[in-house]
Amino acid sequence: MGEPIAVIEGLSASYGGAKVLSDISFTLNEDDCLAIVGPVGSGKTTLAKALSGRLFRTGSVYFKSRTDRVHPAILLVEQQHHFKNRSNMQDFYLQQRFNSADAGDAYTIREELTQEDEVPLAYWLGFFMLDHLRDKPLVTLSNGENKRLQLVKSVLRDPDWLILDNPFLGLDVEGREILANCLEKLRENAIQFILINSPAALPACVNRVIYLDNGRAAWDGLVSKYESARKVGQLTFDRSKMDDLIASAHVFESFQQAVLLRNVTIQYGEKVILSDITWEVKSGDRWALSGPNGAGKSTLLSLITADNPQAYSQDIILFDRKRGTGESIWDIKKRIGYVSPELHVYFREPANVFNVVGSGLFDTLGVYKKISEDQHQRIALCLGVFGISHLADRMFQQISTGEQRMVLLARALVKNPPLLILDEPCQGLDEEQIQRVKEILDYICSNSQTTLIYVSHYASDIPSCVNQHLKLG
């Protein structure tokens, strides 16, 4: 078996003043490829940060170097990219996606990866199937391309180990296959890695699983035995709270057409994102929207949420009104509850979970008005429905990404919007939480006229209330 390549003993760590990890211990041998799995809030990302040295920890952590280095290079590859534009803005990607006027401020892959030695750069770009995209602006990359670019940036630093925090998150089926193949080949290049991942999407190279629960290693064993060992519980939601939420809801003006797009074409420069799209969403319809990464789903949604400036030149009707006939952005947004895979990035100002949910009442990223007693009650009900009341006073930035997802779902529902647009709402959630979200949406749609547009790469994540499907390709 030889010398162990990693030995972790008694690792404990705290985050935001609360103890998150307790007495984590495991040993990895040469043939081990480890995935850390577990429910939302179990401490997976905290463990990733602790192992990589990003977070203070107690206990003993040993990683073997593949070189003669005294201290091995251990790099964390996070869920969210941290690319910046020429103006040194980090969240530009979200803004520029729909604003071609600012695209010139985006770095290309070649500029982002400036290296004195072209040899390793060319090798790793080819390795991760990005070589043909050297001159492509970052803003135009698909999610899968972005994930692989993050890995290129990491391996160019010549790491001994990579700690990968949910690298498959948000990827379509093809993107997952490409990334899984790349990870398999990484091991052939003597770069070891530990995956933080969903148990439903483990690549073939993983042969060992540690299941975290409440900050402890509750199960450790071969991946071949994990399926039979694990027990998926049933998270139910409080139907009485949901009934109270529906009964106390603000009543919006009725409409016949939530969305009508006629022959819509969106183009950035010479690149056509959407071509001649005609789509009608009537009041009470429940649609699934699908398509591979880069197919134009986010662009299509941005036309509905009033975030895309090209909407004014298109034939678009929202809530029975022609776009660009005097309505404000806020007239549109007040009728929409929205969740996107990246929405949590926008909440940069310190705020507790209660106020983040409350911000959904005002379509803002913070609460700048006094919350009335009735509004306070609605926020509390929403937290209860999603089973996150215990997080109310926690700072939003200090809870896990999965917990943030549940908070933002509660935010989307808190004002009883007549149109729900949920873009990958289950991304990063565990199986029990996914089932809870689906049941909540099915209950809402069974007991109200709520219109739903639901985006997902995976049919298993779509609630049963959805009965129509638009696929982009």
**pLDDT for 282:** 96
Please give the model's pTM, rounded to 2 decimal places.
0.83
CA atoms in the 13 A half-sphere facing the CB of 347: 32
Per-residue model confidence as pLDDT tens digits over 413-452:
999 999 999 999 998 888 888 999 999 999 999 998 999 9
CA distance 415 to 337: 8
Report the distance separating Cα 59 and Cα 167, nearest Å. Answer: 27
Backbone phi, psi, residue 269, to 5°: 65, -125
pLDDT at 83 (0 to 100): 67
Q: How far apart are CA 39 and CA 37, in angstroms?
A: 7
pLDDT of 95 reads 44
Domains of the chain: 1-73+158-231 (3.40.50.300), 82-148 (no CATH), 239-471 (3.40.50.300)
What are the backbone angles phi and psi of residue 433, rounded to the nearest 5°?
-65, -40
The pLDDT value recorded for residue 116 is 56
DSSP string, 166-193: STTTT--HHHHHHHHHHHHHHHHTT-EE
Paired strand residues for 12: 58
Q: If DSSP codes are grouped into helix, strand and coil, which group holds residue 336?
A: strand
DSSP 445-458: HHSS--EEEEE-S-
The parts of the chain modelled with pLDDT lower than 50 are: 92-96, 98-101
* CA 177 to centroid of chain Cα atoms: 19
The three-class DSSP label of residue 225 is helix
Burial of 96 (0-12, 13-18, 19+ CB in 10 A): buried
Taking each helix axis from N to C end, the angle separating 431-446 and 239-247, rounded to the nearest 10 degrees, works out to: 40
Rounded distance between C-alpha atoms, residue 238 and residue 156, angstroms: 50
Q: Give residue 228's pLDDT.
A: 66
Report residue 369 as tokens.
Answer: 């008005």
